[in-house]
Structure 1
Amino acid sequence: MAKNTSYQEALLEDLKAELENILSDISESDKASELQLQFLEHVSSFLGGFNISQYHSLLDIERYEYNLNVAEEFAVKIKKSPLPSSILLGILATENLNNIEKKSKGVYYTDYRLASLMGQKMANRYSELVQNKQESISIIDPSCGSGILLCSFLEEIKDCYAIDTIISNNIYAIDISKHAIRAALLSISSYTANLDVISSLKEHLLLADSLNEKQSLVNLVSPKGFDMIIGNPPWEKLKLTRHEFELSNGNTIHYGTLFDKLSQDQLNEFNQKKLALKKYAKETKYIKETKGEKDLYVAFLNLGLDLLKENGEMIQLIPASLIRNQQTATLRKAMINNSISMSIKLFDNKARYFQIDGRFKFVMLQLRKGTGSKQISFSVNNSKTKDPIEIKTKELEKIRPDFSLPEVNTKDEWNLFYKISNTFPSFGMKNSIWEHSYNREIDMTLDKNMFITGIQNIREGLIPILEGRMIHQFITGAKAYISGSGRKARWEQSIFNNISNFRSQYYIKEDSLSYSQLEKTKKWRVGFCDITGQTNERTMLAAYVPPGCICGNKVPTIEFIHEEQFPRLSILWLAIANSFIFDWLIRKVITTNANFFIVDSIPIPIVNTSNILASKIIELTENIIFRQNASYTWETGEIRAKIDALIANLYGLNKNELDIILNDFPIVDKLQPKVENELNSNITKDIIALEFLKTKENYETEIKILNDKITLYKKAGAIPFVPSQFKTQNYDRVRN
């Protein structure tokens, strides 16, 4: 199976191959798209019972000649499929685009499992409207593709209502692709034998750009708009990168490749495409009104809010950036202000819904139009807790003024997240002890022409460049460069903090740096890796960056405004940032990038460095960061556990709350040596719990149990806080 192949593609691989063989036997490849549609229209006629000749006369097209038995036999196979026939037709009728074309158009065809779930929700709402005696119910998909979502709705209600009447009077769709409109017509038509119904449906399928056709859409029904909107709009940004341009021209490249200089013709083409996208964004109402990068799904959501009637319902599949990104804050507020109820279900792609990375997350949004939603019903699809969490909008606004939603799995998690966020100010709050500025010391793309490669050791006059992958918690040399470039670069694990032990991929001459850049390389400062993920073993990776190196843009460094007044403030922040508590808070609101907006939003205790707890944390942290080549010893692990326990006290946690946090890191200690009668060692979590309980009273029994377990862990060779990445070449060495 190809990498990132979707579950649906794998499931239908044989059927798709058979269809391709049938089509290749009938005609030449340059007519494949038209033949694909005509053949499946014929299959649809067998399923629905309509006359194919009259159908093609309705479309005013010239028919191909082929063996009708082949289409009938294929229809029988579709009927025997576990998938609904109409949805299967829609899948098979999708336009054949390569991966680059899919990405450039933002096309991620809807998985039948998601379509079925959305269809059920639409059917439930339709039943409510019918029970309320509403006579005319309008339903539209403004980016319909091959009609899979509308078919999923019809599949749910086909045995309960007069489906011909619904298809003829209630179903509407729009798409910018002529192929998609034909595909939607044939898939929906498989539900009826009545050509008059199909003719009425055809008039309701509009070939146009939804984002520029609001009036046309409304005129199809009434000025009041639509009762229900269902959709999986394009997810692409209106932005053309050089990488995408190269791929679209058939060049096989990977990120990090040094591009060849474009010819004049290529440069003209590249610039023309960029200008065309810019012009489209400037002229299209629902796009030009959005701030920041232009995401098409944002425009479609704004369109949906505009098209819905009062009390109308919208169900959309949307990237998870909807609930997290700074750029979508205005949209989130508009959704809350213009809804009487809102439900958000979060999915990841581990079930291979789409042919993209399994870590990618998206949401199923269900919104009913009205005024002043009092709460948001939030759930995580793969959570053990089935009941959604009811988050009051006033509480959310209090701790997340931009209405970004934390990814909480249970009510207890929400209560803890709310408690911490409501108790402590965010790291980015102005006029606090934590006031700071971020520095991007050197840009790995814009400044790349000054980089020097192929250096094996530190040389006078050359400064190593610290990349994100070289940062781990408290370590600035977590990986050492071997060879290659970009995604093909080879690295090995390392555990060094000393600049003399760094093996960087890139170096830069001192005299190539500006005065301010050079000054930064002369002092210690804290930095963190901003490329990360909430499903990683640890999410926040911060280190004390030594003098003598410069940080790439994926390793932002922080300058604390009040550090002169409060010495070692940066070390206190480093300890807090690397704690499980801070890590838990940030992984609730992050996807793959710890940008400044995210980091600034994390609650943090306001504490003077002379505070007893803070002073002890700083002392212990300095013990770690200035330990050369001793990052993963038992003694270091005990020190880190004490730091985490003290920070838990800074945040005012109790034992149950600390357990909630520690249990939310499933792959920590996963590769530690197993202990008798234990499925896996929990050395890191247990030693933190032990140190925490030592700071409390009346936990003697629990302390004894933990001490006994930790003795067994130590005997088995486990060491707390050792990351899984060190399980090979370094783990045995540091353990001994």
Structure 2
Amino acid sequence: MSAPRPVEAEYLAPAEAALTRAVGGALGPASFELRLQVLEAASARFGGFDLTAFHEAFGVQGKKTAAELLELAAPVASAIERSPIHHALALSALAREALHEQDRKNTGAYHTDFRLATRLAQLAAPKLTYKSKVIDPASGAGILLTALTLAVCGMDRAKTAHWLSHGVCAADLSANSLRAALLSLASLTDDVAALKAMRARWYCGDSLLADPKVWAGMAPKGFDAVIGNPPWEKVKLSRHEFLKSSGTQRHYGAQIHGLDEARFAAQRDEVVNYSRRLLARYPDLGNGEPDLYIAFTDLFFELCKEQGIVAALIPGGLIRSQGTQAMRQKIFEASQRVSLSIIDNRAKFFSIDTRFKFLAVALMKAGFEKSKREPIQLLHERGTPTALETTGSATIGRAALAAVRPDLSLPEVRSVAEWKLFSKIAEAGISWEEPGYGWAPKFCREVDMTKERPKFLSRSTNGALPLVEGRMVQAHRFGVKGHVSGTGRSALWEAYAIGSSRLSPQFWIRPSDMPRATQHRAHFLRVGFCDIAGQTNERSLMAALIPAGAVCGNKVPTILFPEDPSEERLLVWAAIANSFAFDWMLRRVLTTTVNYFLLQSVPLPKLAKDGLPWKKLVSASQELRKLDGAGATRETCERMAQLRGEIDAEVAVAYGLDLNDMELVLQDFPILDRGQIALPGEIKSTITRDSVLAAVAKRTGSGSTVWQRRAVDARVLGAMAYVPSELALGGEEIEEEGAQSNG
């Protein structure tokens, strides 16, 4: 999926055009200097300070006279005033240094959208006054400090001058960024002396490795608030990234040509040395390639005083990744109050995938004395054209979280009811490693679609094995799409109707060309699942049995259970994994990939092998496998839907769920049944939901008949449950937030 243009850039396009005209459209350092000077003049227009005095105070050698700069700035200021963005925040955005793709990759910098800056300031401001001391240790162009100034001081010029003069501190690697931060804040005051006193405290350098004396000089007793949007990248250097930074146009997977090995080795050594210094300074980074945002989060706590506030934008990995467990533990132990807002990029905050999730974190640092740790506040927020709005919230007790998630990873529940349901399933379930249940898995990515690509064959050859790709696997169905023609993005695939699955691959590979460690797996029946998924897809997990004699690409990891390699166990696991209850749990922890850590964090239901529920799941799953090759008839489709409903009901009961619980579960799958006929007077079909709830009502003996009546009425009209939308809509490729359609 291509990266969207940020909304902020759309709003500021007229101001950007006016600024480009003012500097003559030229490129290079001289042009950027003039750009900053024009923006400083615009700041003077808004703030009311004397531009000549400002230049003298900060040693700016004017490219033009102050009068000329003020005249050039007039149309820029006018365009800013017509935008929906406060002038001080707009100036910060316009004064940023341009970040090209590799600059962003190297630094991990994502400029903060004005809506996020305002929201983070709102989270930090309630405990602050104009006498407080605050810092952004990765300030960039200062939009967070500017938003915080507006939140704390409002339009009071006297308070603003005192706040700037005594309390606002910043640090950044870039002198140009600090200059941008200065001009942004300057637009809020006419007091050049206050600006000069503020700028004298600022630090230009690497905050992560700065001497503690730097911070002590700014705030001897610590800061009342630390605000930031730290870099989101790991400290690493690959050959691909090195070539990109050298100007080479290339994509991942392309062969390496023209690499200056000596220069690459020298730069790699620099990166390794820097990593070692960070790991020594911030032990919670763990091992391997350090995540910069984790180091900065550690620094934020270090700079914050007791009862102070930390407010930051952090990648979503903080609440779910295996590598951030130590930092989660530290945050929960060191914070008296924790508020976490989950936000995605659909509102186009950043020029990255709209599915990308991140957090607005607000923490109150605990004191040395034992103080009561409040429950965690978990919010869901989404962007509007000019702000953010809350769409869900839950309160999670810390002990309760530790009981169901020992690694303290937070499930993305949107309400108290969802948290209760999550806890209920977690408490009823068992770990995959629970002794005596036989679920300890052995995962494998059998063939890497990039590394082994040169060994692929485009036609069947004696002894070669068909290669299974992600689009060929759906819930309980193996061989759901067949290759027709073309390769890569231009490849044409045919979707096979329910009941007519067959194996029609794009590629084959000889066993001798497979990685040696995985060659033997092709001789076994095993279960495979698609690892590309999403919380908003029709279904997030799709698993099917993979027969012997086929090999899976890396987007279809496979599982064997060494303690019990029987076909029955594989069938039962597939039944559980494809159920709505398991899928609902996975959606609480999922991003865009089903990695092993996340998958195994979802508990399995307690099922005794050879017990009646086990036998029912085996029988239903076996029949589903047979039916999917029996022919595409309506009878086949309806029977497969009936079997899947029975499986969903059986798994729900095994998790201890009732009819009300399953109603809540199914609310999380709103795009099912596209293309199916709706009941009279209703906008969309709910045949799958109604069929599942009818099966649960029957299985639990609830006595409710409403769902059965709805399902029967829908079937009479021609609707069919459990049909992927792409089949119902004519076999089209339906893009769901960039992922495959599934059902």
Deviation larger for 554-563 or 399-408: 554-563
1:697 Cα deviation after fit: 3.0
What is the TM-score with the length of structure 2 in the denominator? 0.90
The CA distance in 2 between the partners of 1:440 and 1:521, in whole Å, is 12
Name the residue aligned to 2:741.
none
Name the residue aligned to 2:330.
334
Name the residue aligned to 1:133.
none
Name the residue aligned to 1:47.
46
1:731 Cα deviation after fit: 8.9
Name the residue aligned to 2:175.
178
1:494 Cα deviation after fit: 3.6
1:516 Cα deviation after fit: 5.7
Name the residue aligned to 1:166.
163
Name the residue aligned to 1:466.
468
1:56 Cα deviation after fit: 1.7
The CA distance in 1 between the partners of 2:498 and 2:517, in whole Å, is 27
1:554 Cα deviation after fit: 2.3
Q: Per the alignment, in what secondary structure is the counterpart of residue 560 of structure 2?
A: strand
Letter in 2 for 1:533: G
Name the residue aligned to 1:215.
212
Letter in 2 for 1:331: M
Letter in 2 for 1:153: L
1:189 aligns with 2:186: yes
Q: Which one of 411, 419, 423 corresponds to residue 406 of structure 1?
A: 411
Q: Is the 8 A contact 2:446 2:515 kept in 1?
A: no
1:203 Cα deviation after fit: 0.9
Map residues 495-574 of structure 1 onto 2, 5 A cutoff: 501-513=502-514, 517-563=518-564, 568-574=568-574
Q: Is the 8 A contact 1:240 1:274 kept in 2?
A: yes
1:671 aligns with 2:671: no
The CA distance in 1 between the partners of 2:310 and 2:559, in whole Å, is 43
Map residues 255-270 of structure 1 onto 2, 5 A cutoff: 255=252, 257=253, 259-265=254-260, 267-270=261-264
Letter in 2 for 1:686: D
Name the residue aligned to 1:280.
274
1:241 Cα deviation after fit: 3.8
1:467 Cα deviation after fit: 2.3
1:19 Cα deviation after fit: 1.1
The CA distance in 2 between the partners of 1:263 and 1:385, in whole Å, is 51
Q: Per the alignment, in what secondary structure is the counterpart of residue 359 of structure 1?
A: coil
Q: Which one of 375, 397, 411 corresponds to residue 392 of structure 1?
A: 397
The CA distance in 1 between the partners of 2:378 and 2:515, in whole Å, is 49
Map residues 346-425 of structure 1 onto 2, 5 A cutoff: 346-370=342-366, 373-382=373-382, 388-425=393-430
Name the residue aligned to 1:141.
136
1:378 Cα deviation after fit: 0.6
- Quickly say closer, same or farther: Cα 1:612–1:510, change in 2 above 3 A: same
- Quickly say closer, same or farther: Cα 1:249–1:468, change in 2 above 3 A: farther
1:116 aligns with 2:111: no
Letter in 1 for 2:350: F
Q: Is the 8 A contact 1:526 1:543 kept in 2?
A: yes
1:153 Cα deviation after fit: 1.2
The CA distance in 2 between the partners of 1:185 and 1:384, in whole Å, is 30
Letter in 2 for 1:601: S
1:221 Cα deviation after fit: 2.7
Q: Is the 8 A contact 2:43 2:186 kept in 1?
A: yes
Q: Which one of 658, 661, 671 corresponds to residue 657 of structure 1?
A: 661
Letter in 2 for 1:208: G
Q: Per the alignment, in what secondary structure is the counterpart of residue 394 of structure 1?
A: helix
Q: Is the 8 A contact 2:18 2:75 kept in 1?
A: no
The CA distance in 2 between the partners of 1:401 and 1:676, in whole Å, is 48
Structure 1: 5+ residue stretches without partners: 131-135
Name the residue aligned to 2:720.
719
Q: Is the 8 A contact 1:348 1:359 kept in 2?
A: yes
Letter in 2 for 1:410: S
1:303 Cα deviation after fit: 0.7
The CA distance in 2 between the partners of 1:182 and 1:443, in whole Å, is 47
Q: Per the alignment, in what secondary structure is the counterpart of residue 481 of structure 1?
A: strand
The CA distance in 1 between the partners of 2:446 and 2:134, in whole Å, is 53
Name the residue aligned to 1:203.
200
Letter in 1 for 2:180: A
Q: Which one of 641, 649, 652 corresponds to residue 648 of structure 1?
A: 652
Q: What do the CA deviations read for 1:505-537 (whole angstroms, capped 9, x no partner)?
A: 332112334676333212211111122111211
Map residues 474-489 of structure 1 onto 2, 5 A cutoff: 474-487=476-489, 489=491
Q: Per the alignment, in what secondary structure is the counterpart of residue 145 of structure 1?
A: coil
- Quickly say closer, same or farther: Cα 1:567–1:83, change in 2 above 3 A: closer
Structure 2: 5+ residue stretches without partners: 383-387, 734-743
Q: Per the alignment, in what secondary structure is the counterpart of residue 378 of structure 1?
A: strand
Deviation larger for 541-550 or 437-446: 437-446
Name the residue aligned to 2:302.
306
1:683 aligns with 2:687: yes
Q: Is the 8 A contact 1:340 1:368 kept in 2?
A: yes
- Quickly say closer, same or farther: Cα 1:366–1:467, change in 2 above 3 A: same
The CA distance in 1 between the partners of 2:110 and 2:359, in whole Å, is 14
1:277 Cα deviation after fit: 2.0
The CA distance in 1 between the partners of 2:486 and 2:421, in whole Å, is 45
Deviation larger for 673-682 or 344-353: 673-682
Q: What do the CA deviations read for 1:655-707 (whole angstroms, capped 9, x no partner)?
A: 110100011111111332233211111011100111111123352xx32x333
The CA distance in 2 between the partners of 1:155 and 1:398, in whole Å, is 41
Letter in 1 for 2:401: L
- Quickly say closer, same or farther: Cα 1:614–1:28, change in 2 above 3 A: closer
The CA distance in 1 between the partners of 2:281 and 2:487, in whole Å, is 40
Q: Per the alignment, in what secondary structure is the counterpart of residue 365 of structure 1?
A: strand
The CA distance in 2 between the partners of 1:140 and 1:551, in whole Å, is 51
Q: Is the 8 A contact 2:607 2:613 kept in 1?
A: no
1:251 Cα deviation after fit: 4.7
The CA distance in 2 between the partners of 1:673 and 1:273, in whole Å, is 61
The CA distance in 2 between the partners of 1:491 and 1:269, in whole Å, is 44
Q: Per the alignment, in what secondary structure is the counterpart of residue 170 of structure 2?
A: strand
Q: Is the 8 A contact 1:428 1:600 kept in 2?
A: no
The CA distance in 2 between the partners of 1:591 and 1:642, in whole Å, is 29
- Quickly say closer, same or farther: Cα 1:634–1:337, change in 2 above 3 A: same
Deviation larger for 407-416 or 273-282: 273-282
Q: What do the CA deviations read for 1:246-282 (whole angstroms, capped 9, x no partner)?
A: 5444455555x4x2332242x4444443332222111
- Quickly say closer, same or farther: Cα 1:397–1:350, change in 2 above 3 A: same
% of aligned pairs identical? 33
The CA distance in 2 between the partners of 1:668 and 1:287, in whole Å, is 46
- Quickly say closer, same or farther: Cα 1:374–1:30, change in 2 above 3 A: closer
Name the residue aligned to 2:442.
437
- Quickly say closer, same or farther: Cα 1:569–1:190, change in 2 above 3 A: same
Deviation larger for 347-356 or 327-336: 347-356
What is the TM-score with the length of structure 1 in the denominator? 0.91
Q: Is the 8 A contact 1:254 1:487 kept in 2?
A: no
Deviation larger for 6-15 or 470-479: 470-479
- Quickly say closer, same or farther: Cα 1:431–1:144, change in 2 above 3 A: farther
- Quickly say closer, same or farther: Cα 1:586–1:714, change in 2 above 3 A: same
The CA distance in 1 between the partners of 2:326 and 2:47, in whole Å, is 45
- Quickly say closer, same or farther: Cα 1:497–1:394, change in 2 above 3 A: same
Q: Is the 8 A contact 1:567 1:609 kept in 2?
A: no
Q: How many residues align?
A: 713
Map residues 624-635 of structure 1 onto 2, 5 A cutoff: 624-629=624-629, 630=631, 633-635=637-639
Q: What do the CA deviations read for 1:97-135 (whole angstroms, capped 9, x no partner)?
A: 2233223321211111111112222221214xx7xxxxx
